[in-house]
Amino acid sequence: MKKFAVVLSGCGVFDGSEIHEATLTMYSISKNGATYDVFAPDIEQHHVINHLNGNELDEKRNVMIEAARIARGAVKDLKELDPASYDALIFPGGFGVAKNLCTFAFDGPDCKINTEVEKVIKAMNEKGKPIGALCIAPVLLAKVFGSNVELTIGQDKGTAEAVEAMGAVHKNTNHGEVVVDKKNKLYTTPCYMLDANIAQIGEGADNIVKEMLKDM
């Protein structure tokens, strides 16, 4: 069975992983006959957001501990991810990607990426293994690989311009569409970067997983 490494950025759309995208990605992997392990960096998240009203809370949380909520406790430190043990790498979206895994939410094209995140992306790519990214997560790939990569974040003009400022080629997409960069084995789909419902998120997650499995 093919095995995915799923990387989460916390728990909750505004300060961590988007829960629908994360859950439906794992569901799609399992439904399509593959397996997965969940990883997250053992770091403090940038800030904590009250998901009822959007206000910042005066407290601290750990990305890995929060990701364990989605993984039902079965989450590993990203430092432990051995690229040789996995056939693919995939990043669900959520603002945690742009706040905890990198600083795109604050610095745009000048963002910095978490060292372990960049390390695992490069290692999987060097081994010729497919890498998937949903929603805002493709900004990680734009920052790491720069020019000569094709990807999508949907249709948001500002984010697309920021991605292109990092050297990537952006493709506008609609619900469920997957942009495949065959040369670099990169797979991206917009999910909640569009005004989507949960069924459309499920379609996007299923489509990207299926496309990645073709390349394993």
Show which residues are catalytic.
135
Q: Cα separation of 187 and 19, whole Å?
A: 20
Question: Which DSSP helix (H) or strand (E) runs through 145?
Answer: helix 138-145
**CA distances from residue 94 to 186, 191, 216 in whole angstroms, order as listed:** 19, 10, 26
Give the CB-side neighbour count of residue 176, counting CA atoms within 13 A: 8
Dig out the tokens for 61 from the structure.
């949380």
**CA distances from residue 128 to 43, 184, 186, 188, 200 in whole angstroms, order as listed:** 28, 8, 10, 17, 29
